[in-house]
Structures are given as structure tokens and as C-alpha cells.
Amino acid sequence: MSANKRVPTGVPGLDDLIQGGLQTSDFVLLVGGIGTGKTIFSTQFAYQGAKVLGEPVLFATFEEDAASLRKNMLKFGMDLTALEKEKKLKLIDLEGLEGRGMGSNIDTILAALDEIKAKRLVVDSLTAFLSGAGEKFDYSFLMHLIYKTLKREGVTTLMSVSRFQGQNDFSSSLEEFVADGVFLVENYLAESMELRTRFMVRKMRGTEHSRKYHMVVFGPKGLEILPYTI
């Protein structure tokens, strides 16, 4: 058993697979294709911090605009607007960042982290954030810079990474080497000809974690992770 206090993820069924949660200041990636639940998962992580623990959370949404995110997550009972009013949650979307340099976009996020004294940071997605840069950055340098800066800030960070069809699920990108943890979500066609989603912990530094595929089940309160019964 680890003496370190763990940070609960807000995703039912997940904390038990990773010794109770993330470690404070972890930088974790959620990698998956479209419609695998990355945004719902990310919002549950944010909601756990802001609503359940009452800690300030910064959520940077770059694939969906903030209005669409608020509307879609309300369907799962997650009222982001209420949390924003209580100053527990700050949403940033691409609109505020468009047309500016990558350096100043990172500065905007860091300024917002300091402003609200965020304990959690969500970026959905890192892929969209970086592709919006339109600049030639040394990618390796950039990832290490982001990593070191967030460590210094002491926030626990979840970033989604969009993987496109055709990319091998087990191929790794540079950011996965940098990250403290990597969660994988995949859609697949079951024998019943039904589209299903599965989850795996691919990497989690300092943690004895499950190495099994688990089911991702979408329900009225978001998604949860369950063991395969077969």
C-alpha cells in the first residue's frame, strides 16, 4: 500500500485499478479515437474535483466549444455553468486563443491556473491545442516544457489525445513517453455487431495497476469502467 494520498478520478470503477487514484501532480493522458468517451471522462475528472471535492479546476476545451460542452454534459447531470458561477470551474475554449502564438496560449493557461489556484487541469484535447498552433515548434522541447511547468505548478493534469483511425492502438507517441500515466480507450465491433468501448491502463508511474481490458459503459451519469465478465 502506498502512503501517498491518491487523487480520485471521478470515473466509477477506475480508482480501484490504480491503487486508489492518480498521484498529486501527475500528468496523465487519455488516448483514444472519436466517440470513445474522452470528453465525458475528462469532464467527470473535472467534476469530481470541482463539485465533489470543492477544489478549483481549469478545463481547456479545444475540440468542442464551451457552450456545446456545457449543454452535452448537463445530459449526464453535470452542471458546469453552476460550478463556473461558484468559481470552482473555469472553462477556456479556442475562441479566446485563436490567432495567437503557442507561447502566449500556454501563458494564458498558466495565468488561469494561477488565477483560480487550480488543483486540476483538463485539456481536451492536447491534439487540437497543438494543431491550432500553426507554428513550427520543436515538439519534443514543447512537451518537456509543458510537463516541467505543470509539475512546478503542482496541478494534477488530464489531457486527452485524439487518435485517428488507422493509427495502431499500441503505437506510442512522444507525449506518451513524457506522461506519468496513459489511459487507452478504444471502440471495437463486438461479435454481436454492436459497437463497444474498452479501456486499459497502459502506463502509470509508481503504481501497481491493472493490465486487463475493461468495459466502458455509458449511462445516465456518464461513463463507468467495469470488468469483463467473460
Ligand X SMILES: Nc1ncnc2c1ncn2[C@@H]1O[C@H](COP(=O)(O)OP(=O)(O)O)[C@@H](O)[C@H]1O
Q: By the criterion CB under 6 A, which residues form the site for ligand X? A: 32, 34-40, 75, 218
Residue nearest to Mg ion (CB): 39
**In the range 48-77, which residues lie near Mg ion by CB under 5 A?**
63
Q: Cβ closer to Mg ion: 25 or 187?
A: 187
9 binds Mg ion (CB under 5 A): no
User: Which of the listed partners (ligand X, Mg ion, none) does 56 bind, with a CB threshold of 5 to 8 Å by partner kind?
Assistant: none
SS3 for 36? Answer: coil
Confirm if 80 and 89 have CB atoms less than 8 A apart.
yes
C-alpha cell at 43: 469532464
Confirm if 6 and 20 have CB atoms less than 8 A apart.
yes
User: Which of the listed partners (ligand X, Mg ion, none) does 32 bind, with a CB threshold of 5 to 8 Å by partner kind?
Assistant: ligand X
SS3 for 112? Answer: helix
Cα–Cα distances (Å) from 60 to 21, 35, 131, 224, in that order, read 22, 19, 14, 23
For residue 5, give the DSSP letter. P
User: Which of the listed partners (Mg ion, ligand X, none) does 34 bind, with a CB threshold of 5 to 8 Å by partner kind?
Assistant: ligand X
User: Which of the listed partners (ligand X, Mg ion, none) does 156 bind, with a CB threshold of 5 to 8 Å by partner kind?
Assistant: none
Strand partners, 187: 197
Q: Select from 9, 39, 48, 197 the one that contacts Mg ion (CB under 5 A).
A: 39
Q: To the nearest whole angstrom, how small is the minimum distance from the Cβ of residue 78 to ligand X?
A: 11
Q: Cβ closer to ligand X: 40 or 150?
A: 40
Count of residues in contact with Mg ion, rule CB under 5 A: 3
C-alpha cell at 98: 485563436
Q: Cβ closer to Mg ion: 55 or 63?
A: 63
User: Distance between CA atoms of 36 and 87, rounded to whole angstroms?
Assistant: 29
Q: Cβ closer to ligand X: 77 or 206?
A: 77
Q: Cβ closer to ligand X: 38 or 120?
A: 38
Q: To the nearest whole angstrom, how small is the minimum distance from the Cβ of residue 43 to ligand X?
A: 8
Cα–Cα distances (Å) from 93 to 46, 60, 67, 123, 174, in that order, read 15, 6, 9, 10, 25
Confirm if 19 and 227 have CB atoms less than 8 A apart.
no
Q: To the nearest whole angstrom, how small is the minimum distance from the Cβ of residue 23 to Mg ion?
A: 25
Per CB under 5 A, residues contacting Mg ion are: 38-39, 63
